[in-house]
Structure 1
Amino acid sequence: MEYVDVAVIGGGQSGLAAAHALLREGLRPVVLEASGTAAGSWPRYYDSLTLFSPARYSSLPGMPFPGDPDRYPHRDEVAAHLTAYAARLATDLRTGHRVTAVRRDDADFEIELADADALAARAVVAASGTFGRPHRPALPGLDGFTGTVLHAAEYRRPAPFAGQRVVVAGAGNSAVQIAAELATVARVTLASRAPVKFARQKIAGRDLHFWLRHTGLNIAPLGGLLRRPPTQLVIDDGRYRASLAQSAPDRRPVFTGIDNAKVCWADGTREEADTIVLATGYRPDLPYLAGLGDALDAAGHPRHRGGASATVPGLAFAGLEWQRSLSSNSLRGVGRDAARIARHLAAHLRSR
Structure 2
Amino acid sequence: MEYIDVAVVGGGQSGLAAAHVLRRQGLTPVVLEASGQATGSWPDYYDSLTLFSPARFSALPGLSFGGDGDRYPHRDEVVDYLTRYAERLDAEIRTHTRVESVERDSTGFTLRTADGRRLGAAGFVAATGAFGNPLLPDLPGQHDFTGELLHVADYRSPAPYAGKRIVVVGGGNSAVQVGHELADVATVTLATRAPVRFLPQLRDGKDLHHWLTATGFDHLPPEWLIHFVGGTLVLDTGHYRSALETGRLQRRPMFTALDGDAVVWADGTREQVDVVLLATGYRPNLGYLAQLGALDVTGAPLHSGGISATHPGLVYLGLEFQRSFASNTLRGVGRDAEYVIDALAAHVRKAPAAAGL
User: TM-score if structure 2 supplies the norm length?
Assistant: 0.95
Structure showing the higher helix proportion among its residues: 2
- The CA deviation at 1:105 is 1.4
Aligned 1:10-21 pairs, distance under 5 A: 10-21=10-21
Aligned partner of 1:288 in structure 2 is 288
Q: Quick check: 1:105 aligned with 2:109?
A: no
8 Å contact from structure 2 (residues 139, 258) kept in 1: no
Aligned partner of 2:336 in structure 1 is 337
- Distance (Å, rounded) in 1 between the aligned partners of 2:308 and 2:21: 18
Aligned partner of 1:245 in structure 2 is 245
1:233-266, Cα deviation, whole Å (9 max, x unpaired): 1101111111111222200000012211111111
Aligned 1:122-161 pairs, distance under 5 A: 122-161=122-161
Aligned partner of 1:303 in structure 2 is 302
8 Å contact from structure 1 (residues 212, 218) kept in 2: yes
Aligned partner of 2:260 in structure 1 is 260
1:45-103, Cα deviation, whole Å (9 max, x unpaired): 00000001000000000100011000000000001100100000000111111101111
8 Å contact from structure 2 (residues 107, 121) kept in 1: no
Aligned 1:24-173 pairs, distance under 5 A: 24-115=24-115, 117-173=117-173
> Unpaired runs of 5+ in structure 1?
none
Aligned partner of 1:212 in structure 2 is 212
Question: Which 4+ residue blocks in structure 1 deviate beyond 4 angstroms?
Answer: 223-229
SS in structure 2 at match of 1:109: strand
Amino acid at match of 2:244: L
8 Å contact from structure 1 (residues 223, 306) kept in 2: no
Deviates more, 1:268-277 or 1:149-158: 268-277
8 Å contact from structure 1 (residues 7, 124) kept in 2: yes
Give the alignment's Cα RMSD to 1 decimal. 1.6
- Distance (Å, rounded) in 1 between the aligned partners of 2:247 and 2:94: 48
Aligned partner of 2:176 in structure 1 is 176
Distance 1:299 1:49, change over 3 A: same
SS in structure 1 at match of 2:97: coil
Deviates more, 1:56-65 or 1:112-121: 112-121
- The CA deviation at 1:219 is 1.6
8 Å contact from structure 1 (residues 125, 317) kept in 2: yes
8 Å contact from structure 2 (residues 7, 30) kept in 1: yes
- The CA deviation at 1:221 is 2.6
8 Å contact from structure 1 (residues 228, 322) kept in 2: no
Deviates more, 1:136-145 or 1:206-215: 136-145
Aligned partner of 2:355 in structure 1 is none
- The CA deviation at 1:230 is 3.7
- The CA deviation at 1:222 is 2.5
What is the aligned residue count? 351
Deviates more, 1:228-237 or 1:140-149: 228-237
Aligned partner of 2:313 in structure 1 is 314
User: TM-score if structure 1 supplies the norm length?
Assistant: 0.97
- Distance (Å, rounded) in 2 between the aligned partners of 1:227 and 1:34: 36
Distance 1:233 1:211, change over 3 A: same
- Distance (Å, rounded) in 2 between the aligned partners of 1:240 and 1:273: 23
Amino acid at match of 1:93: I
SS in structure 2 at match of 1:333: helix
SS in structure 2 at match of 1:119: strand
1:121-146, Cα deviation, whole Å (9 max, x unpaired): 00100000000000011233333322
- The CA deviation at 1:106 is 1.7
Aligned partner of 1:349 in structure 2 is 348
Aligned partner of 2:354 in structure 1 is none
- The CA deviation at 1:107 is 3.4
Q: Quick check: 1:7 aligned with 2:7?
A: yes
State, as a whole percentage, how many aligned pairs show the same letter. 60
- Distance (Å, rounded) in 2 between the aligned partners of 1:39 and 1:31: 12
8 Å contact from structure 2 (residues 8, 30) kept in 1: yes
- Distance (Å, rounded) in 2 between the aligned partners of 1:229 and 1:282: 20
1:177-219, Cα deviation, whole Å (9 max, x unpaired): 1111111111110000001000000001110000111111112
SS in structure 2 at match of 1:104: strand
- The CA deviation at 1:226 is 5.8
